Amino acid sequence: MPHEESPQLRRRTFIQASALAAGTALLEACGSEEIAFIEQPVARRSSLKGVSVWRASTCGQCPSGCGILVRTVDGDAKKVEGIQDHPVNHGGLCALGQASLQGLYNPDRITTPLRAVGDRGSGAFEEIGWKEALEIAAEALADASAKGSGPALLGGDGGGFQEALLHLFAEALGTAAPAFLRAPDVEVERRAAEIALGAGAPLVYDLAKTDYILSIGPAFLDRWRDPVHATWALSEMRSGRRSRRGKLVQVESRMSQTAATADQWLAVQPGREGLLARALANVLVHENLVGGPNDSYLRLFPDPAPTPEEVAEACGIEADRIRRLARELASVERAVVLGGGSAALQSNGLFNTVAAIGLNLLLGAVGRPGGVYESASFGLTRSMISTPATGLDNLLARLQGRGGTGSATLLIAEADPLHCQPVTEGWQAAISSVSSLICLSSFMDDTTRQADLILPVQVDVERFNASEPPSMRSILNLSLPVVESRGESRHPGDILLALATAMGRTENLPWSSFAEMVEARVAEAQSELPGGTDAPFRGFLRSALGQGGVWSRKASAPTPPGPTKAFRGEIEPAFSDGELTLIVFESAKFGDGRGANRPWLQELPDTLSTVMWNSWAEMAPGDAKNRDIQTGDLIEVQSAHGRIQVAAILSPTARPGTIAIPQGLGYEDFGRYARGRGINPLDLLGRVKVAGTAATSFGGTKVRVGRLGRGKLAIFGRGLRDAEEIPTGWAAHIVDPETVDSEGGSV
């Protein structure tokens, strides 16, 4: 795409002036009160100045779909709280959701279309109008279509109706299905659920009604899937039932917030989670704790399971402890096993996750209260998607032109692959190879900085929301904007529809706005939705919008049918050369980095280390002593693929032989609060895949660590201090002290 200050753009014959004007008019209409849906509440302010008005909405900070209430005063959003009776969050809200208003009012937001005027990646942009922006984008997309390969499309993890619309947009342009940037363990867990239980949808766990949770990998109280709902469910399990307190056992290589909250933590060796699960199966079957052999489990794993004695050394957990754990699982009425998370990120992550989830077959937990189910859904978007999404590897190959199918244009909608994927995946080279990069984004992140054209999108409380989050109950979140859009930002769905209109590609996209698309689908399914039978559509819709959506009164999650064939996956994990095993984990407050530009979250102390405004590396005291490293020292961490510098934290709970570093920081550009702050541990990873999937392995990398000198850390309660002034006894206590020896590892 040209970068001259006044480019002379050539109109293609199929981009008609009338179509372009219609696309611009569509955007202008979507920014007003005249959308197809009912009147926007934004305009209905209180007649009394200074009076608070609470409006229902949906949190869009992650795919969980928590229901929220936003307090507005004179049209400005002031506070966000959870909806008390919403089935996802039950009134709760995580730190990322609480800080969402700092995304809305962030001083570094992009609120007008921008065109690059310098070299790609230089950060030099100029403001342009929507009409010109649509013209540039439409021409770039048309160029790619004219060359035969069609434009490439990449979306984020929003899911639901926005994902369906991106699929329809691809069909309208005659190009390949879009790809979506999600956490790699998501793909592994879905494939494992299909293999182990025959599930055609994501698994959900009825944690509130169980007596015993064994979590092999998922740090479900941190940032895994739906931490707000999981926190509520754990509370219900432990105290919500008279004289019946459930137990949580966490199997994880790192002491996470979930491990610290657990009744017992087993610090397993990284990559050995599947062996532990199979040894538990051995005890359950051979000690006749589950009524003898189980046909479904034997169909999945026909080969004999190893004994606890055979795996104890490899797992780093004593055989007697494995036997006690198996007996505890069998002794309670309702036990359930979670699989995935960190266990799924190893090269043998599919085996680890299938072995963990498969234990539910032995325990009779599949389709039972307190057990595991497929996610419930009204299925409103399922019929809208006719082809599977393109894998990230296939998209990369296409962008890089392997096989002569390179794409000239890449459109990225609310995704940042340059920050959320390892450097070795090749995203920088792929993006450099395209002639036009169009980004739909609210902020200047590492990927958006490379764009030729930036189209500003609304944040969640500014836009119409519709989603079906995974849950035990069928849920349709519906909410209108609660505040007016800042600047000229638009709904990402409206932008796609405007582009299709500008290109004259509307045969399968007959709607004038994203809201109209959702309204049409809801109208078709009204009789199947709670409260929709025999109700006038507008009345039904107003009621749904008033409470943030509709959901079934009782759990409606289907039971997975079970495995159909034997699974023989990659059992042994692959490790690179090095001294310490690197553990990369999502920050509980930043997630994959999407919260890094919020000063509230930067100032918020990490739950365990209490570090603020920076990255850190957790080490066992013994490993640190061997390298003359103390808490607060600046260290260099080097792999075969890169090196970083970060401050060390000595943790008595860190497993010897490992070093753990959080994701979420290390941006080249993400606004003033995140730019150049901390490091990105993904820069250390190689290009290794989880066997049997296309997911990138975030585990298995070994590193060398050396001391560079004294450093400084911002620690809660102490401020910015020299390292010798920072106490090392910061870690949360462990409920079961037998799990940790003097070096911080598993006994």
**What pLDDT is stored for residue 349 in this prediction?**
97
Q: What pLDDT shows up at residue 582?
A: 97
Residue 659 neighbours by CB under 8 Å, 6+ apart:
580, 581, 582, 583, 617, 618, 619, 623, 637, 703, 705
Q: Give 422's contacts (C-beta < 8 A, 6+ positions apart).
A: 641, 682, 683, 685, 686, 687, 696, 698
Q: 219 near 258, Cβ under 8 Å? A: yes
* Domain end marker among 374, 406, 435: 374
- For residue 85, being part of any structural domain is answered with no
| Proportion of the chain above pLDDT 90, given as a percent | 77
**Are the C-beta atoms of residues 337 and 357 closer than 8 Å to each other?**
yes
CB atoms within 10 A of CB 562: 17
Provide the pLDDT for residue 426: 92
On whether residue 420 sits in a domain, the answer given is no
Q: How many CB atoms lie within 10 A of CB 118?
A: 11
Q: Considering only 443-447, 566-570, 740-744, which range has the smallest mean pLDDT?
A: 740-744
* CA distance linking residue 103 with residue 443, whole number of Å: 9
CATH number at residue 280: 3.40.228.10
Question: Are the beta carbons of 485 and 219 closer than 8 angstroms?
Answer: no
Q: Is the pLDDT of residue 721 over 60?
A: no
Among 329, 353, 374, the domain boundary falls at: 374
- 354 neighbors 297 (Cβ within 8 angstroms): no
What is the pLDDT at residue 711?
A: 84
Can you tell me the distance from the alpha carbon of 542 to that of 91, in angstroms, rounded to the nearest whole number?
Answer: 22
Residue 202 lies in a domain: yes
Q: What is the pTM (predicted TM-score) of this model?
A: 0.90
Domain edge (last residue) among 318, 342, 374: 374
Quick check: is 304 in a domain? Answer: yes
Give the chain's domain count. 2
Does 45 score more than 80 pLDDT?
no
List beta partners, residue 426: none
670 is a domain residue: yes
Identify the band that residue 13 occupies on the pLDDT scale cut at 50, 70 and 90: very low
Q: Is 647 part of any domain?
A: yes
How sure is the predictor about 160, in pLDDT bands with cuts at 50, 70 and 90? confident
pLDDT beyond 90 at 316: yes
Residue 674 located in a structural domain: yes
Residues 6+ apart with CB under 8 A from 700: 270, 271, 346, 347, 573, 574, 575, 576, 581, 688
Q: What is the mean pLDDT of residues 312-331?
A: 96
Task: Dihedral sign for Cα 159, 162, 164, 170, please.
Answer: negative
Residue 263 has pLDDT above 70, yes or no: yes
Residue 260 CB partners (closer than 8 Å, separation 6+): 607, 608, 731, 732, 733, 734
- How far does Cα 298 stand from its chain's mean position? 33
Separation of alpha carbons 620 and 651, rounded Å: 6
Q: Write the DSSP assignment of 245-288 as a string of letters.
A: --EEEEE-SS--HHHHHSSEEE-PPTT-HHHHHHHHHHHHHHTT
Range of the domain at 289: 186-374
Task: Give me the residues paired with residue 715 across strands.
Answer: 611, 719
Mean pLDDT lowest among 233-247, 323-337, 478-492:
233-247
pLDDT computed for residue 2 by the predictor: 41
The mean predicted confidence, pLDDT, of the chain is 88
| Count of residues in the chain | 747
C-alpha–C-alpha distance, residues 356 and 363, integer Å: 12
- Of 589, 562, 706, nearest to 96 by C-alpha is 589
> Looking at the domain assignment, is residue 619 inside a domain?
yes
Q: Is residue 742 scored above 60 in pLDDT?
A: no
- Which CATH number belongs to the domain containing residue 622 in this structure? 2.40.40.20
